[in-house]
Structure 1
Amino acid sequence: MGNCACLPGNKHRSTALGPVPKAVSELFQALSQGKATLTEEVVRTYLKAQGVVSSETEVHHLIASCKQAVSNRRTSGASEAGPLDIDLDEFLALLQDTDVNALHEVGKVTHDMSLPLSHYYIYTGHNSYLSGNQLNSDSSAVPIIDALKRGCRVIELDCWPDGDDQIKVVHGMTLCKPAPVLELLHAIKEYAFVASDFPLMLTIENHLPVPLQNLLAQHFKDIFGEQLFTKTSDGPLLSPNDLKRRFLISTKSTKETAEGVKGAKKPPPDLTPVAEGGIPAEEPEDDIKRTGQGPEAASNGHETAGSNPGSKRPSLAEVDAEAVVADVATPSDAAEFDKSLSSLIYIPTLKSKLVGTPASERKAIRASFSEPQFDEVAEKDPLVLTKFSQHNMVRVYPYGLRFDSSNLDPVKVWCHGGQLAAMNMQGYGRNLWLAHGFFLANGGCGYVRKPEFFYPPSTEIAANGTPVEAVFNPRQTTPVRTTLKIRILWGCDTHKRFDAMSLPDFFVRVAVCGVPVDTKKSHTKVHRNTNHPIWENELFEFPLTAPELAILALEVRESDTLQRDDFACQVCIPVAEMRTGIRSVAMKDAKGNVIPDGQAKLLVHVELSA
């Protein structure tokens, strides 16, 4: 668990906005030098030091907004502050403003975007067209549009023949209802760059005969026009900056035979599924899984929905991990394919013999792993993955028996260098929350630069005189580089009722998810019978060896003695993007949407020390 220390107790002054944490009162007294109000100049100096608004006009607007918020809630007495001064109530309102005093950087692209695509984690969808579960839900443009609005940069389309001359998108071999490919492509064209100007990749699962491959290629050209990038990826991949507002096609090569289309996806092996817990919106699964652990069903003997108790997961004890990578990276029978479609492929899947060759001598490729395949390789030899993904793209998609559209653990993929952790964006649960939070980084543009330790300079010389690259091992314990210290000062949640006869009993789960040694969780004490709990006496410490991969996960729950605790709200934030000091956090519902009108928020105090 994350270390939690309890600090001495204290009494809190009550204001129009509820009780004031002692830390806020002390800060106000320090800034005002014991006076009852803060001047406009002091407010502006404080905000500038916090890295937020600093112009005179912005400060005036913010002060007026805070005064109005407090005035609307005061039951008696007016503020003693002047027109540009603020009292303690109004200062608390300023600190609670999640637009101005957010815990993380908002809307700013801060990473170097001039490196090859393989140097970035990319916000990736899986079966992006499905509106619900993987068995009988509708295919539609709506979930694609929703994903694009969130900043998703990789959309998957499963293309199948619809008669002799049309193409449909549908999850094959299920009862899911299809959608016309043209309808989806037009929606993608319209919404592709609403949230981000950086390139949008389409991963195509191709089940089409050659004539319909020709038709699909023509649709791409007609709809995307000059924004369709068609240059082959000889040598290193281009950068996000080079490919701004361009569409990229990534698919494997296929060929038509008398038996049908080769290279099509084979049915998944009968393996015990990795259960993340597909649960209703109001019932998130009970525990945040530790990164680096194997499937619960395989490790603890518990059966999960959709599992086969009689099946046995194959072992990799006798399997070479590098051979598995090579096999995954290549459909062995894919030799010929339709030229009109193949000419549009920017990142292909190619022959296994290319996996071992120097990056400068081959094209970059994309290898797609199923969740069980990835887990096996990561367990056998994680260095194979981190090295392979230095110059190639690694995509990992959810296990085939996640019928409920639950999700794999994306942090595990990122810790092994995998760029494309494919998420069921229409699903729910903590793993999807982690993806939502991680891609808040870098202005929410859908691209997050991989840490530099994945690309270290050569430190050794082999016997033949060739430099040997050091490779990051996510399972290796390294020195602590940063310690995150956080206190939950104050909370508010009024967006729904939990108990008909009493006020709620809130507590907060506090967790950090990252490389295995950094992954820890804890929780506050239960604060009973209030909509405005204060937990500032509890300090949580998280030593971090790889802070670039760490995500802070906060989940507010309402304690219930006789049954399962009720989910209230949640948020996940990348530690690398966090700002120190007293900060406000807008909380989200189980679908990952911000709860409107400030009805649910936390006030936290954050320290990051080397």
Structure 2
Amino acid sequence: MTPPSTTSWTASSATTDPCPKPPTMSDPQERTQDVCEIRSNFHVDTKVNLTPAAYPRPRVSRDIEQFVQGLDLNVDDLLDRPTLKVNTVPDDQPLASYYISSSHNTYLLCRQLIGRASAAAYTHVLERGGRCVEIDVWPSNKGLVVTHGHTFSQAIPLDSVLSAIAEAVGPEDWPVFISLECHVPLAGQEELASMIKEKIGDKLVLGRNEDLGDNAATPKDFFGKILLMVEYFMPPSLLGEEVEEESSSSSSSSSDSEGASSIWPGRRKRKEPKPRISDSLAQLGFYCRSMKPKKGWFTENLVDPAHILINISESGLGALLPAALTDLVKHSNNYLRRVFPHGMRITSSNLNPITAAWSNGSQVAAMNWQVYDRGLELNEAMFVGSDGWVPKPAALGEPVTRKVRMKVDVKGVSAIPLLNRKGGTVDMYVRAYLFTTTNAGEKKWRSTNVKLKDVPEEGGDLSLEGDGESFEWEFEDIGLSFIRFNVWEAVFGRDNKLTVFCGKIEHIRNEISSDPAHNGWRFVRMLAEDHGGTYTGCTLLARFHFTDV
């Protein structure tokens, strides 16, 4: 790789500033205050269904209480039982054998194009188990900053972001990746590389670990460490023709050009080659050489150099499906792959990680953690109770030989946080959705409407008649199946979605099979949809029964 120019350069010497708003101060006290605020506004209580005893005791309606007692079960005992039971995660498999909980544009606290950003967002994501965060680095007249360039999003100093990441990674933590999107000119990358090494210190993985073979790296080899994803470009001399310079952007871009004429970036027309990444920066990304692919990449054996990571948009990858599914899964057995949201998701909505990433073997599905929507609910359900790494299903890519029949009985819901705060009667109903590798919520069930009284400060109670209502689904399951419950308020025009539960079916089945005494019945804790996944005391009483078909 061509060495960087020796011309003197600093971040503040840049002639253009992509940041319409000045960066916030790099003040540790201010960051601490931001962390507390973000914890309050963005925390998600997914773990309540894994460790219910750690949360306040919920109120159960009288109808539900009597129904449980009629089953010869104890209400308090049933309330103590979790709905989920997760598996132990081995730490000695190749890096490509795991799914990794990931954040997209981690610094943002709102939408993509305008709004606030904070270094404390990195602390929050890492505390919640995120193991891959993103940094978009730009030069500005305030120094090197992190921002969503050419938008009205706020900019924050790079040094505060790096410090926040380093401080959040403990010596026993599973490895953390930083996806680096570098918009700093070549001459300024020496300063960038020096700052990264200085702020992260000995937690940063620098180059090759001589004790490891190129295909032998596992998570346990990098506990307490931070690995940098640095964009990699094949040297022009190896391409056999000159290349055209193009953006190294890895965030919301819709111009991946996966249909171009080569697997290597930029082979469109002849132009004097220009290096894009300096040697000093490239050396920091030895185990994560991030490449934007071109046509045919998923059938290539990318062994020289080692540790290629494919960085591709959801639209670019989606264009290859379903035709290339088998090849994509096979390719992911040897190479990491990061999938980031399409550029048109300007409201920071999330992709469906099952269909966009996990089912085709992609390990890193970059999610917008500031938006609690269906995509993030699925991500939370996948990684709940883990350290941000979970193994891929053994059956991924294999012919499906097993189907599961799941029967669910729903009796009712207690303490629903209603929107009608004036009291009175409202119509409510429950919905359930199935998400699998081949089903994106099309299989669904809806209960009958129930009129109930809104009790201010206590919420509403919904009880279905008799023994409740049931539904039964039969589906192919390779370990990537999820169920989602919602409680809805029926109103004129558009119904209000009030509470949600999203769980991995494997986790539910683990728990039910470990406790035959309660005959499959569980109090499912429901999270508030309009308060970003917080637990408000709402519970849904349901019975789960599973049969292998």
Pairwise CA distance, 1:518: 8.1
* Number of the residue aligned with 2:379: 435
Please give the secondary structure, in 2, of the residue aligned with 1:383: helix
| Separation in 1, partners of 2:358, 2:417 | 34
Q: Does structure 1 conserve the Cα–Cα contact (< 8 Å) formed by 2:169 and 2:225? A: no
**1:206 aligned partner:** 182
Higher strand share: 2
The answer (yes or no) to whether the contact 1:168–1:181 under 8 Å persists in 2 is yes
Name the residue aligned to 2:436: 514
> Of the candidates 52, 56, 76, which is equivalent to residue 93 of structure 1?
76
Secondary structure, aligned partner of 1:521 = strand
How far 1:238 moved relative to its partner? 1.8
Aligned to 1:338: 278
Check the 8 A contact 1:486/1:604 in 2, yes or no.
Answer: yes
- For the pair 1:425 / 2:369, whether they are aligned, the reply is yes
Question: What runs of 5+ residues in structure 2 fail to find an aligned partner?
Answer: 1-58, 237-242, 454-459, 513-519
Residue 182 of structure 1, CA deviation: 0.8
2:403 to 469, 478, 481: 481
The equivalent residue for 1:169 is 146
Partner of 1:19: 63
Partner SS, residue 164 of structure 2 = helix
Structure-2-length-normalised TM-score: 0.74
For the 8 Å contact 2:298–2:327, the answer to whether it is kept is no
Deviations 1:415-439 (A, max 9, x none): 1111111111112322222212222
SS of 1:215's equivalent in the other structure is helix
Deviates more, 1:183-192 or 1:527-536: 527-536
2:249 maps to a residue whose letter is K
Structure 2 letter corresponding to 1:599: G
Q: What is the distance in 1 between the residues matched to 2:302 and 2:379?
A: 29
Name the amino acid aligned to 2:389. Y
Instruction: Indicate conservation of the 8 Å contact 1:126/1:155, yes or no.
Output: yes
Q: Aligned-pair distance for 1:172?
A: 1.3
Give the 3 Å change call, closer, same or farther, for CA 184–586 of structure 1 in structure 2: same
Residues in 2 aligned to 1:334 and 1:101: alpha-carbon distance in whole angstroms: 61
Q: Which runs of 5+ in 1 are unaligned?
A: 1-14, 30-90, 272-313, 455-470
Backbone CA RMSD of aligned residues: 3.5
Residue 572 of structure 1 aligns to a residue whose secondary structure is strand
**Do residues 128 (structure 1) and 50 (structure 2) align?**
no
Other-structure match for 1:573:
503
- SS in structure 1 of the partner of residue 161 of structure 2: helix
Contact 2:499 2:526 in 1 (8 A): yes
- Tell me the CA shift for residue 246 of structure 1: 0.9
Give the drift of 1:19: 1.1
| CA deviation vs aligned residue, 1:378-418 (integer Å, no higher than 9, x gap) | 24422232121111111111111111111111111111111
Q: Find the counterpart in structure 1 of residue 527 from structure 2.
A: 588
Q: Distance in 2 between matches of 1:328 and 1:577?
A: 41
Report the AA paired with residue 327 of structure 2.
Answer: V
- Hey, what's the Cα distance between the residues in 1 that align with 2:490 and 2:163? 47
Q: In structure 2, do the counterparts of structure 1 residues 600 and 380 end up closer, same or farther at CA, with 3 Å as the change threshold?
A: same
Show the counterpart of 2:249: 265
Q: Which residue of 1 aligns with 2:38?
A: none
Aligned pair in 2 of structure 1 residues 590, 191: CA closer, same or farther (>3 Å)? Answer: farther
Counterparts of 1:260 and 1:159, CA distance in 2? 22
- From the superposition, tell whether residues 21 and 487 of structure 1 become closer, same or farther in structure 2 (CA, over 3 Å): farther
Report if aligned partners of 1:116, 1:240 keep a CA contact under 8 Å in 2: yes
- The CA distance in 2 between the partners of 1:518 and 1:252, in whole Å, is 32
Partner of 2:224: 245
How many Å separate the matches in 1 of 2:532 and 2:440?
27
Note if contact 2:338-2:364 (Cα within 8 Å) is conserved in structure 1.
yes
The code of the aligned residue for 1:589 comes to A
Cα distance in 2 for partners of 1:16, 1:264 equals: 54
In the TM superposition, what are the counterparts of 1:211-360 in structure 2 within 5 Å?
211-232=187-208, 235-236=214-215, 238-253=217-232, 263-265=247-249, 268=253, 326-327=263-264, 337-345=277-285, 346-349=287-290, 356=299, 358=301
Whether the aligned pair in 1 keeps the contact of 2:299 and 2:327 (CA below 8 Å) is no
Q: Which residue of 2 aligns with 1:115?
A: 93
How many residues were matched structurally? 455
Report the 3-state secondary structure (helix = DSSP H, G, I; strand = E; otherwise coil) of the residue aligned with 1:542: strand
Distance (Å, rounded) in 2 between the aligned partners of 1:499 and 1:400: 39
- Once the two structures are superposed, the pairs formed by residues 461-476 of structure 1 within 5 Å of their partners are 471-472=397-398
Change (3 A) 1:16 1:177: closer
Query: What is the letter of the counterpart of residue 434 of structure 2?
Result: V
Matched, 1:558 2:482: no
Give 1:601's aligned residue: 539
Rg (Cα) greater in structure: 1
**Partner residue in 2 for 1:524:** 447
How does 1:379-394 map onto structure 2 within 5 Å? 379-394=322-337
Which residue is 1:3 aligned to? none
Write out per-residue CA displacement over residues 237-278 of structure 1, whole angstroms, 9 at most, x where no aligned residue: 622222212101012136999x9975533994589xxxxxxx
Q: Distance in 2 between matches of 1:608 and 1:243?
A: 38
C-alpha displacement of 1:510: 0.5
Identity of aligned residues (%): 24
Distance 1:243 1:263, change over 3 A: same
Cα distance in structure 1, aligned partners of 2:525 and 2:394:
30
For the Cα contact (< 8 Å) 2:113–2:153, is it kept in 1? Answer: yes
Q: Cα–Cα, structure 1 residues 23 and 501, in superposed 2: closer, same or farther, change >3 Å?
A: closer
Which residue type is aligned with residue 574 of structure 1?
Answer: K
Q: TM-score w.r.t. structure 1 length?
A: 0.67
Q: Is the CA contact 1:131–1:142 (under 8 Å) kept in the aligned structure 2? A: no
The offset of 1:591, in angstroms, is: 6.2
CA shift digits 1:496-523 (9 cap, x unpaired): 4426342443211111111115852222
The amino acid of 1:397's aligned partner reads F
